[in-house]
Structure 1
Amino acid sequence: MSFDLHTHSLVSDGTQPPADVVAAAARAGLEGIALTDHDTTAGWDEAIAAAQQHGLLLLPGMEITTKTSNGISVHMLSYLHDPEHAGLVAAIAEAREGRVERAKRICALLAEDFPITWDSVVEHVGPDATIGRPHLADALVAAGVVGTRSEAFQKYLHSRSRYYVPQDNISPTAAIRLVLEAGGIPVLAHGMASSRGRTVSVDQLEEMIEAGLAGVEVWHRDNPDQGRELLLDLARRHDLLTTGSSDYHGDGKPNPIGENTTDAATVAHILERATGSPAYGEFRAA
């Protein structure tokens, strides 16, 4: 029984509608998935309907953009929270506004050297979708500057690039508390992904646990072996959930759906503890 608990649709920076993400999971033989678009729940209804059609379990979720006090970007997965919780809705709205302003600033820097405009970026953003650097990458691909999103990140959109612009976001601990208030289950996404930039310290992880962090995403292609061991040790000492997932983006990343998965026992714990929103479809524990 395998579940992929980190996927994206074109509601944020994936390349497929939510229904197609669910269909891809069904073709891969998964028992269920979580749809975790960046800072939005707009894809939930379509994904729920598709999951019921394909006989999959669907955990509605979200990936929340946060930042530590010393400027480290941290992504927090939230599962089964109340999508109408006022505090969380307000925080996400602010994050989405910040994403737009940041993308415009990055675009202006890129436009000094490459033939892209803000209009050419927006062409790659779905209606009401959460904008992000992958859409800037798509504009660079369309302009012939690079061949793929991955190449765009490797050359121009990484955190050490001269085109990089940081974004102000709520803290990881604030996000954790909001998710818990909304009845959701907060899990740290790819927390040791050093190839993406700086990662948090053990002390910072301990602060997140103190705030109520429920789990850590261990099996993710961007977590190196040493980072996985650190997360597993932390989980053992603090009785945290451990998850695995693909971080699927359709054609936007090379990560195939179901590349890493979460077992049924962990999913059962998430279902038992969440109070904000139900999962949809039949859960078969064995």
Structure 2
Amino acid sequence: MKYVDLHVHSNASDGTMSPSQVVAYAASKNLSAMALTDHDTVEGVQEALTAAASLPVEVIPGMELSALYHEKEIHILGLFADYKNPQLLKQLENLRAVRSRRNSVILERLAADGICITAEELQASNPDTVITRAHFARVLVERGIVSNMAQAFKKYLQTGGKYCPKKETFSPELALKLLKECRAFPALAHPLQYKFGTEELNGLVAHLKELGLAGLEVYHSSNNQYESMKLKEMAVKYQLLPTGGSDFHGKNKPDIDLGTGRGGLHVSSLLLEDIRNKHSKMYS
């Protein structure tokens, strides 16, 4: 049996490995394929594809777009994306500018309380990275201000809290339109992490399905076996293909390993072939 990982982050967003390092690691783990799905960016895709050219692992160009639904941030994966699409690049650049303004506010609010963080610290030797709250959390841990990432998020980086304003982001309509524009296979990432009730989650999935959603992340590091089973039933109900991935971030999520999550995750390559076939039909 061959395995894949369709939800992977590099230091192009909030992971700690470079795209080429992630690809090499995926090859060392004997994965047949991985999707690079950095947050709101495709900056690392070309490097990953170049690295994969000499290794026995397929890299699927992708991203993880943020959108707002019922005042909660949701994430939509786009697999097999045309990562050079001009409209995609324009919209992602706009989103990057929004992130940059929000990050400036976080820096100002932290500095007002005596916690002065530099841009260089946040970038961690990658000036092209998309700065997220995880970058701030990492610096707070490195400075010894908090003992771990979870504490950093709880004390300093809660969205809408003292230091961290709410993030401007895409609507689900715009996110799905953009993914269609770049010929991507769209799938809702980690549906249970949004903490919606059953009715609201069904409402979300039904709404996204109407907008063009094609997949549901049934298998994820945060799910137990029962939860994955329930999500698989939901995928069948809405005629969505199941997908799965670890949500690997390197040292920023040290308990989650590439390909295996927290130890029990194994995503069959057969899921990928179903997605590949569906994707081909969607844009034929």
**TM-score w.r.t. structure 1 length?**
0.86
Per-residue deviation, residues 162-194 of structure 1 (Å, max 9, x unmatched) = 333111111123211221232110011112114
Per-residue deviation, residues 200-240 of structure 1 (Å, max 9, x unmatched) = 63212211011110111122233466754553222011221
Mapped partners of 1:201, 1:225: distance in 2: 19
Q: Which moved more, 1:89-98 or 1:158-167?
A: 158-167
1:147-166 maps to which residues of 2 (within 5 A)? 147-159=147-159, 161-166=161-166
Matched, 1:265 2:270: yes
Mapped partners of 1:49, 1:119: distance in 2: 28
Q: Residues 80 and 251 (structure 1 numbering): CA distance in 2 closer, same or farther, change over 3 Å?
A: same
1:18-33 maps to which residues of 2 (within 5 A)? 18-33=19-34
Mapped partners of 2:238, 2:123: distance in 1: 45
Per-residue deviation, residues 96-128 of structure 1 (Å, max 9, x unmatched) = 111111122122222333522343644436122
**Structure 2: which 5+ runs fail to align?**
none
Q: Percent identity?
A: 33
What SS does the corresponding residue of 1:234 show, helix, strand or coil? helix
CA contact (8 A) 2:157 2:164 kept: yes
1:1-286 maps to which residues of 2 (within 5 A)? 1-68=2-69, 70-119=70-119, 121-124=121-124, 126-159=126-159, 161-194=161-194, 201-223=201-223, 228-254=228-254, 255-258=256-259, 259=261, 260-274=265-279
Aligned-CA RMSD value: 2.4
What SS does the corresponding residue of 1:77 show, helix, strand or coil? strand
CA contact (8 A) 2:206 2:238 kept: no
Mapped partners of 2:162, 2:229: distance in 1: 33
Mapped partners of 2:98, 2:227: distance in 1: 30
**TM-score w.r.t. structure 2 length?**
0.87
Mapped partners of 1:24, 1:164: distance in 2: 33
Letter in 1 for 2:47: E
Q: Which has the higher contact order (CA 8 A, sep 6+)?
A: 1
Q: Which moved more, 1:178-187 or 1:78-87?
A: 78-87
Letter in 2 for 1:83: Y
**Structure 1: which 5+ runs fail to align?**
276-286
CA contact (8 A) 1:192 1:228 kept: no
